[in-house]
Amino acid sequence: MNVGRALLIPHVVRLSLRAPRDVTVRWDRYWASTTATGDTGDVLWDASSTDEPQRYVELLAAHADPTLPVVDAGCGNGRYTRALAGRFDRVVGVDIAAAAIARARRESAGVANAEFRVADLTDADAGRALHDELGDCTVFVRGVLHVLGPEAARRTAATVAALAGRRGTVLLAETDYRGPLLGYLESLGGGPRGLPAPLARALSAGLPRPHRFGDAERDAAFPPDRWERVLVDHTAVIRTVPLRTPDVPDTVPGHVAVLRPR
């Protein structure tokens, strides 16, 4: 391990010690303490650039049934929910954190076809209940599965399957950084002097640490015998807010896949 990476460890440990134990509480406190979103805000993954959301909208326009409602699973402050609402008639953002949903509703005021619900995606009953209301859905998942362990990812996939039903299409967009956690933090501007504020804030809130999410992880959660791979992009990137250079969003290697139930 190089010296710079070794000096990063105390910063990570110090920040992580502040977090409450319950994951739901962590997410809710994180969003409740958020003062601003977008490129100059507090939320690491909430870049304001439109190219990433526009690509997802175009992929779903090309591959999903346009008559189905869209569920934005893990919607946070609703940035992608609003982008999807620009193309589809009904979009429902779902998040485990009540504070995230409250912020999404505020930031989405005036977007008549975007609505928001609090739900735990690891609970398949939540997916079945929403399916009972909406019927088969298109499901969009960005930046959720890569912070879940294998069992939680499988439970979330079961929720997604319940929402998709027989006619739905699923779009996954996850980070797929292939090195160790410290290398990931370094790639986003971490170093001996500490971490950029949005990154430090995520660590101090105790948000789950990222894991790689590639072919193996996708197949474990969405087995090929039950899900058709319509499209897989191993060259995708996930944007974060600017961390090292003002006005220049940073990027993380990504994995994008469009899936359909068999």
Q: Are 176 and 253 in contact (CB under 8 A)?
A: yes
Among 142, 5, 154, residue whose Cα is nearest residue 70: 142
Distance in angstroms (rounded) separating the CA atoms of residues 20 and 166: 39
pLDDT given at position 174: 98
pLDDT tens column, 4-29: 665 565 555 565 666 667 889 999 99
The domains of the chain, with CATH numbers, are 49-184+207-261 (3.40.50.150)
Please list the rounded mean pLDDT of every run of 10 residues in the chain (262 residues).
58 61 91 97 96 98 98 98 98 98 98 97 92 97 96 96 97 95 89 88 88 96 98 97 93 98 96
Mean pLDDT, the chain, integer: 93
**pTM of this structure:** 0.93
Distance in angstroms (rounded) separating the CA atoms of residues 244 and 229: 36
